[in-house]
Each structure stands twice: as structure tokens, then as C-alpha cells.
Amino acid sequence: MPSPLVWTKLHVPRARHVVVPRPRLADRLGGSAKPRLTLISGPAGFGKTTLLAAWAGQAGCRVAWVSLEETEQEPASFWTHVVTALDAAAPGVGTGVLPLLRAPHPPMESVLATLLNELGALADGVDLVLDDYHLADGPEIAGEVAFLLEHLPLQVRLVISTRADPALPLARLRARGELVEIRAADLRFTVDEVTAYLNGVFGLHLEPSEIVTLEERTEGWIAALQLAALSLQGREDAAGFIAGFAGDDRYVVDYLVEEVLGRQPDAVRTFLLETSVLDRLSGSLCDAVTGGMDGKAMLESLERSNLFVVSLDDSRQWYRYHHLFADVLRAHLLDERSDEIADLHRRAAEWYGVAGEPVTAVRHALAAGDIGQAADLMERSSIELLRQRQEATVRGWLDDIPHDVVRRRPVLAVGFIGALMSRGDFETVGDRLDDLERLLAGPRADMVVLDESELARVPGATETYRAALALVAGDPADTVAHAHLAIAKAAPGDDLTVSAASALAGLASWGSGDLEAAHHGYSVAVKGLERAGNIADVLGCSITLGDIRVTQGRLGDALRTYEDALRLAAAHDTDGPLRGTADMVVGLSQITFERNDLAATAEHLKRVEALGERLGLPQLPYRWRVARARLREAERDLSGSVALLEEAEQVYVGDYSPNVQPVAAQRARVLVAQGRIAEALVWARAQHLDPDDDLAYIREYEHLTLARILIHQQRTRPAAHRLLERLQTAAEGGGRIGTLIEILTLQALAHHGEHGRHDVPGAVAPLEQALRLAEPEGYVRVFVGEGGPMATLLEALVRRDPSWAYPRGLRAAFDRAPARPVEQGLVDPLSERELDVLRLLATDLGGPEISRRLHVSLNTVRTHTKKIYAKLGVNSRRTAVTRAGELGLL
């Protein structure tokens, strides 16, 4: 089934054979000045599209054209057409955006940012034309187009034609000189243009006085002039006709259309009226609607006669009527042959249904008032449209079909439920599932079913949606129960239902902390998806499988998960890298980062950037930014790390996955590293975090972040100990070894800084346990990232057991790490040398040992120490270390 993208909307309408030259307007469109926005605004029939088409057809123009319709009020449809048009005009532009637009809830900030970045990389200019913009204008579209307009690169211009001024910042653009306006007064034909049009194009040989009269009566309105010209052809009493020509715009159109229609042969008039129900016209479609056999020839004849027919492609396959002309034709059809309208729409629906365009077919069936035909078309297409991520289209049909009709059609009912679930519209889903289950339990004769194979899928799908509804409601036990029922009821070979149910069970287990069960559910889902050929979804599940293994402390298994997924993607990349490839590379970067191979991590992230977001799943924009933020933090660019995390939060997409590592919590950790403890505390309070909370896996990462904050304040360090002990018990019970390693590391740091005593023995015990767990998997970053106090503790371990290579290697890694910049929060900040001394004061080294370590004299150490005391406002080593800990200087 083809995509709902309508390709004829992306063609510049074919210019008529003879067009009146309008240099005064052409200069404003194609001059050397390139404003951000060119606005062509005027009522119907003023030649806006004709003017643009003639300009766009000139040599040297690079134009991305979109003819808009009301269906483009939905953002995904609007931007899909815009991006595809841009890609056609400048190949490669916007291709990173289309995968994002296919997501159930497209992240529009990321969509627009990616599009703007790709437009910014253009070497040559391009003009984006949005014709009939008023049909798509609305609050959502207006906000997004305004954002695009505000950030357009210099080589790109937006050109809008519209019947009404758009809801865009026109006054600001006008004040900046970034707006060119062509309005109705500009579009009206001058006397010279009227002469060229009537006598040149139509060959009417009118006298100058008659030309002036027509110009005055029509006020240069092009549609009225065209209708007048058609009425004048073949008349002997042209002067009398012109003398009686008067009235306002609406009267003029009605009068002239009647004149034009009245002068057409019966066959042409009938054709015009009957085909006026169509938005687009082709020969075979017109034949299907009219019952004739000359549709193609008739359309070509109408075009040659300038009878308000606009060609939509270069091969003369598709046309449309001028909007104003079509409106009047439909009014005449309603007045003269209203009893035939339903049949005309019904025939159009049948043609579009066979042609594989279900959305347009449904629209005509509804216009015909044929609910049965509309329901049949919806039922045949809804499941496939959902697979194509066209949930908004299916959701929109819900308002067009009586619920009593849907209640008898199980396949259609389950399609509608799928659309509601995908759009996050859960309010009526429970009742709909109840109705569906009652229908399935009742007599077969009560059902309307077009495809028995689709009916066999319904019981399993019903239980799958029950499981998803339970997951959304926060009931993991019910989720797992319904997921198991879905698997049991799935039709033979229905791998998609089994995979979806298994993944839902895995999600429920993941959210409750049973990671082994979660991994099993996702592993089953991967196998089913691979059998079904849904490789992109296999890659999506691999993200979760890798995350689970990392949390379990199994870095090697996580690495193999990503590598296996990449090999699978490579085996199916006949047309280039598959969507999801970039996500797997981000996964690889996580493993190399944990092992402190920062160069490899940087290379992986560069590769992701080269692949682009078009090869990523919906989660890629935020996951990539988080990975880059961690690398920036490791490189001691803490401000850059915070900025990236703030971006990541803006483009976060979670789908049904539990948010086990909230981006805001990751940002709070970097704030702690910067010494911005007060700001980190603001975050903790906003999340209502308390060290005595009941613990749940879903908030484990946040509570660990809270523990980091508490450790940095002497008065709250006992609370940090209590919290870490409880977190340790929970992580051990859940087999979350990766988390346990971090918990033990924090316990070591908390002991080390306790009341300035530097309890090295108390700190070394949990650290040694952490090292024993971490060594088999090659963890480095979890230790090196903790800074100077960790280096001191590792030295103590090395002294105690010089033969143990792992802590020796970790200690050596500190010497290769960049120095950490510190935001001190002091009126008189400490110098780099004073910071070096302060860090050693926080150890158990005496003055002579510190002087030897720094290669300075003991008197120099004492001088630095006095300055440190003065700047910190303390008078002892112990209080200096305590104060430094509170400021995050250690």
C-alpha cells in the first residue's frame, strides 16, 4: 500500500501555454534581495498560483513546491510533504527528518532542528513554496512554521501564497526588512495586462474603450476577466455584453460561470458538473465517476480551452479545477442534480479503493453517506496504516463512523483501539475492549468480517492492548498476566502479537526491577520480530537488552548485543544502513566509555553524527546527546555537558519504556560535579526525594543522585549512609551489579570524607568489594570519574596489596585524565596550586609528604595552606576539608 504522501502536491503546476508577462511582479519574486519570507496574499481568482508557477518554471530557479490541502493541518502530514519537496529540490536535504516523522509522536523540536541543520549545510539557495497555505494554517502548524522562519539559514527563502494572512510574525519581519509582500492590489491586472490577456491570449480584438470598461468593472480581478473572455468568445454583441457587465465579486463569478457553463456543449457541461466532486482529476478516475470513456481527452481539451483546469504533473496525468471554479461547479451540481451526488462520490470511493488510496476512498464514501462502504474501506486498510505509523489518520476516522457500526466489526474495532493506544488516548479504550470481547464471545452471525485471517489476530491483539493499558496504569502484575494470555491466544504465525506481548511483559518486569525477566521478554520479542522481518524493531529492542545488561554489570554481554544487532542490520542493508543503526553505535559508545576508552567513544559518537538522525529510532536524539554529555564531563567540560543534557531533555522520547535514568537526574549529577550543590538540591526537592523514601527500582537512579548530593554536605552525610545501605540491599536482591558497583563506590567516598577524619580503612572495604565486582567486566570510568578522593583510596589499596593489578591500573588512569575545572563559589577563588594542596590536605598525608608529592618546599606548602584557610574562612585542616567538601572543591 503506498504512503499517504500525495506526490502530485509536490509538482509545480504546469504554466499555461501563453502567460501574460508580469515583469513588475517577477522582479519582486526573483530579485537579488532574498528576504526570509515572500508573502503573496489575495482572494481566490487573483492569479497567485499562476504567478508562482510561471516564476518557478524559469531557468535557474531551485524550488521546493507543496500544494497544500486541509489534510496538512496535521503536523506529520504537513512536514512530510515539506521535507519530501525539499529533498526533491536539493537531494539529501531533510532525509534525517523523515524517520522522526514516522514515529507515533514525532518530536517536533528535533524534527525542526534537524531540518534546519540540513538546510544550513546547503551550498546553493532553495525557495520553499507553500501554495494555498490558508488550507493548512492552524495553531500547531503556525507555531512550527514561525520557528522554522525565525531560524532559516540565509540561503533558504520561504514563499507563501494564501487567501488570508497567516498567523506568523509579519510585523516583526516587516520591521526587519525580511518580508516582501505581494497583495491583491499588486496582483490585479493593469490596463496593459488586461489588453495583453484579452486580445493577446484570447484573441478577442476588443477596442481600447472596451478594455478599459472591463478593467474598471472587474478591477483587474483575473478570474472575472477569464470568465468574461470565455463568455465573449464567438459573441457578435461584445460591446452590449460589456456594457451590461456589473456587480460585486460574488455576483460577477456566479453570473460569468453561468455564462461559461451555458455556452458549453451538453457533454462538456455534464463532465464539469459530475467531476466537480473530485479534488484531483485523471482520465481513468473521471471515467469511473462519469461512466464515460473519454476522460483523458476531455481534460486535455479543457486545458487547451483555458477552462480553469490546472495540470498537476509534467506528464498530464493529473489535474485539478481552479478552486473558485470548482466551488461554483459544486454549487450548480447541488442545485441541479443533488440526487446524483452520493452516487458520484461512491464511484470515486470505489476507484480510489482499487487504486490503493484508502484515505481518499474513505473521504468519498463518507461524502456519499455510505457508512457501510466507508467501514469496509477502513477495515481493509486500518491495520496496514497502523503498521505504516499513520495512527492519526485512523484515529480521525473514529469521529466519522457510528459506534454501533464499529461494535459489529471486530477487525475495525481492534484497528481503532490500536490507533487510540498509539496516540496516548486511553480514556475509552477499556470500554471498547469490553465491547470487543463481548462480540467475540457472541454468535458469529453478529459480526461483520471481511478477512478471516485478520479476525484470527483479534483475540491476541485484544489481550495485548489489555496488557498495554495495564502498563500505562502502573499495574505490572496485570500487564504480565494479559501479555501471557495474548501469547496463548495469538494466531499461528502471528509473530508480531507474540513479540508485542513479550516486550510488554518485559517492560513491566523492567519497571519493577526484575531485570532477568525483562531481558527474557525482550529476547523473545527480538526472535519474533526477526522472523517477521521487522529488523528496525529488532534494533529498537536491542537498545533495551543492552541497557539491561549494563545495569546488571554485564558490559561484555551488552557489547555483544549491540555488535550482533549491527551485524543483523548489515545483512539487511541492501539499500544502505537501516534505521536503528545509529542507536546501536550509541550503545557501543556506552561500553567504551565505561571502560574509559574516551578516544573510541568519541569516534563512535562521530559516526552517529555522520549517520544522522534519519538512521535513528525515536530515542536517538536524546540518547546521543546524553552520551556526548558524559564524554564532555569526562573531558572536564562541565558547562558543555549541562548544555547537552538540557537539549536532551527537550527531545526526550520514552514511548512505553520506564524512564529509569531521567535526564534531569543526570544533569543534577553534573551540577554536583561543578560544586553547584544548591542547584542540585533544588532538583531533589522538586522531585520530592527524601533519604527515607520507600525504595522502588524506577527511582533508584534518582535516589543514587540524591545520595551524591547528601555526601557533599557534612550535616547530611549520615542520611547518605543510611540511604546507600538500603540501596545496596535492593540492588543486591535484584542482581543489579552495575548499580551495586556505583553504590559501593559512593559508600567508600562517604566514609572517606566523614567529619574530615578520612576513614581510609572504612572506605577501602566497600571499595574493594566494588573492585572485585567490576574487574571481570573492565569498569574504569565509574572510579576515575570520582576524582581526587578516589585516587587516594586506590593508592591505599595499592599499598595494601601491590600485587593486585586492577587498582594499580585504575590509579594510573587518573594521571592520564584531564584536570577537573571547579566552580568554587568563593569571592577570592583558590588558585590551581592551592587546589592541589587542598586535595592533598583531604588525605592522610603529612606536611613533608605533601611537599614531596608536589615537589615544593615545606615552607611553600605552609604558605599555600594559610592562604587556603583565609579564603575558606577556617582555621584548621579539618574544618578546611569539611568546608571544601561542602563547596564541592574536592
pLDDT at 104: 62
- Select the more confidently predicted residue: 324 or 610: 610
Could you tell me the pLDDT band of residue 890, with boundaries at 50, 70 and 90? low
Could you tell me the pLDDT band of residue 756, with boundaries at 50, 70 and 90? very low
Measured in degrees and rounded to the nearest 5, phi and psi for residue 319 equal -140, 170
Dihedral angle over CA of 817, 823, 826, 827, nearest 10 = 120
Could you tell me the pLDDT band of residue 746, with boundaries at 50, 70 and 90? very high
Q: Cβ distance 94 to 116 under 8 Å?
A: no
> Which tens digits make up the pLDDT trace of 641-696?
998 999 888 888 776 788 999 999 999 999 988 878 888 999 999 999 999 999 99
Q: Cβ distance 545 to 512 under 8 Å?
A: no
Q: Over 80: is that where the pLDDT of 888 sits? A: no
Q: Over 80: is that where the pLDDT of 566 sits? A: yes
Residue among 567, 523, 514, 518 at smallest CA distance from 542: 523
DSSP state of 136: T
Distance CA 560, CA 567 (A): 10
- Per-domain residue ranges of the chain: 7-187, 191-263, 726-816, 832-887
Residue among 631, 701, 695 at smallest CA distance from 659: 701
Measured in degrees and rounded to the nearest 5, phi and psi for residue 381 equal -115, -15
Distance CA 353, CA 384 (A): 14
For the segment 99-126, the average pLDDT, to the nearest whole number, is: 78
Could you tell me the pLDDT band of residue 383, with boundaries at 50, 70 and 90? confident
Residue among 648, 666, 657, 661 at smallest CA distance from 697: 661
Q: Cβ distance 557 to 549 under 8 Å?
A: yes
Tell me how far the alpha carbon of residue 666 is from its chain's centroid: 22
Residue 735 burial (10 A CB sphere; 0-12, 13-18, 19+): middle
Could you tell me the pLDDT band of residue 2, with boundaries at 50, 70 and 90? very low
Q: Over 70: is that where the pLDDT of 812 sits? A: yes
Counting residues of the chain whose pLDDT is more than 90, the rounded percentage is 45
Distance CA 566, CA 458 (A): 34
Distance CA 503, CA 544 (A): 10
Measured in degrees and rounded to the nearest 5, phi and psi for residue 68 equal -85, 150
Residue among 681, 682, 619, 671 at smallest CA distance from 643: 671
Q: Over 90: is that where the pLDDT of 628 sits? A: yes
- Give the three-state DSSP class for 319: strand
pLDDT at 128: 94
> Which tens digits make up the pLDDT trace of 298-314?
998 888 776 778 788 87
For 832-887, the fitting CATH number among 3.40.605.10, 2.50.20.10, 1.10.10.10, 1.10.1660.10 is 1.10.10.10
Q: Over 90: is that where the pLDDT of 597 sits? A: yes
DSSP calls for 417-444: HHHHHHTT--TTHHHHHHHHHHHHHS-G
- Select the more confidently predicted residue: 264 or 293: 293
In DSSP terms, 41 is beta-bridged to 162, 183
Q: Which helix (H) or strand (E) holds 225?
A: helix 222-232
pLDDT at 46: 81
For the segment 124-140, the average pLDDT, to the nearest whole number, is: 88
Q: Over 60: is that where the pLDDT of 59 sits? A: no
pLDDT at 464: 96
Greatest C-alpha distance within the chain:
118
Distance CA 683, CA 702 (A): 10
- Give the three-state DSSP class for 161: strand
CA distances from 121 to 86, 93, 280, 512, 616 (A): 13, 9, 36, 45, 20
**In the structure grid, which three cell numbers stand for residue 143, read together?**
507555531
Could you tell me the pLDDT band of residue 380, with boundaries at 50, 70 and 90? very high
Q: Under CATH, which number does the domain 7-187 receive? A: 3.40.50.300
For the segment 835-846, the average pLDDT, to the nearest whole number, is: 80
Could you tell me the pLDDT band of residue 249, with boundaries at 50, 70 and 90? very low
For the segment 41-61, the average pLDDT, to the nearest whole number, is: 81
For the segment 786-792, the average pLDDT, to the nearest whole number, is: 85
Mean pLDDT of the chain: 87
Could you tell me the pLDDT band of residue 481, with boundaries at 50, 70 and 90? very high
For the segment 481-505, the average pLDDT, to the nearest whole number, is: 94
pLDDT at 82: 92
> Which tens digits make up the pLDDT trace of 454-472?
999 999 999 999 999 999 8
pLDDT at 282: 95
DSSP state of 281: B
Q: Over 60: is that where the pLDDT of 17 sits? A: no
Residue 799 burial (10 A CB sphere; 0-12, 13-18, 19+): exposed
Q: Over 60: is that where the pLDDT of 554 sits? A: yes
For the segment 577-584, the average pLDDT, to the nearest whole number, is: 88
Could you tell me the pLDDT band of residue 65, with boundaries at 50, 70 and 90? very high
For the segment 486-497, the average pLDDT, to the nearest whole number, is: 93
Kindly report the pTM of this predicted structure.
0.67
- Select the more confidently predicted residue: 130 or 216: 130
- Select the more confidently predicted residue: 63 or 323: 63
**In the structure grid, which three cell numbers stand for residue 436, read together?**
470487543
In terms of average pLDDT, the best of 384-393, 451-460, 633-642, 871-880 is: 451-460
Distance CA 838, CA 760 (A): 17
> Which tens digits make up the pLDDT trace of 329-378?
898 899 899 999 999 999 999 999 999 999 999 999 999 999 999 999 99
pLDDT at 587: 96
Task: Check if 7-187 and 832-887 are the same fold.
Answer: no
**In the structure grid, which three cell numbers stand for residue 766, read together?**
566497600
DSSP state of 204: -
Could you tell me the pLDDT band of residue 247, with boundaries at 50, 70 and 90? very low
pLDDT at 458: 95
- Select the more confidently predicted residue: 575 or 242: 242
Distance CA 631, CA 792 (A): 24
- Select the more confidently predicted residue: 845 or 727: 727
- Select the more confidently predicted residue: 251 or 385: 385
- Give the three-state DSSP class for 160: strand
pLDDT at 303: 80
Q: How many CB atoms are located within 10 Å of the residue 708 CB?
A: 24
Least confident of 22-26, 200-204, 219-223, 418-422: 219-223
Could you tell me the pLDDT band of residue 13, with boundaries at 50, 70 and 90? confident
**In the structure grid, which three cell numbers stand for residue 641, read together?**
555537558
pLDDT at 343: 97
pLDDT at 3: 44
pLDDT at 252: 62
767: Cβ–Cβ under 8 A, 6 or more apart, which residues?
744, 745, 748, 793, 794, 797
